[in-house]
Chain A
Amino acid sequence: SQKIEQNSEALNIQEGKTATLTCNYTNYSPAYLQWYRQDPGRGPVFLLLIRENEKEKRKERLKVTFDTTLKQSLFHITASQPADSATYLCALVGDDKIIFGKGTRLHILP
């Protein structure tokens, strides 16, 4: 069955460093991969989308890579700030459906 895993439940990163979150999947060939941010008690908010034929996408301090051979996406936040603390969800889109990962709680320590 299709499976999507995000590297860890929680990640602590020192302010100013680069935070790297991982999304791995099996038994699936997504056409797109999306990343969302979710703050406590709120709904997820879309951040970035990357297509299967794109290797990398950037938006301000965010960078996403997509390796269809490794079946993995990496999500980077450079020059991290305490305001970046949140849960980040990856979502695979393809075959007319979307599957969300369970998320990684990121804490940026001042």
Chain B
Amino acid sequence: KAGVTQTPRYLIKTRGQQVTLSCSPISGHRSVSWYQQTPGQGLQFLFEYFSETQRNKGNFPGRFSGRQFSNSRSEMNVSTLELGDSALYLCASSQWPAQGSTEAFFGQGTRLTVV
């Protein structure tokens, strides 16, 4: 069974540009969550999607957006990039409803560097 796949693994962008990151969840998983990880702020929740609908949202500005497709694949977009957006962006998939387990499976992440 393939794990969670995130592409690209590394990305370098310039301030002001926009970026789209992709996440393919484990087959059969319908919930996809996105997190930003930085040394100073730790793991911060961005948003969670289920059945193409955003169910939960963290405290990030509107420049951060996402969507989920009918095959459960998800993308997140960051517009007007700022230096502070440099981080590891992690995607996690899980079954939903929890079905007795809340285990989330994380991808290897996309390392975004804004210069």
Q: Do chains A and B interact in one complex?
A: no
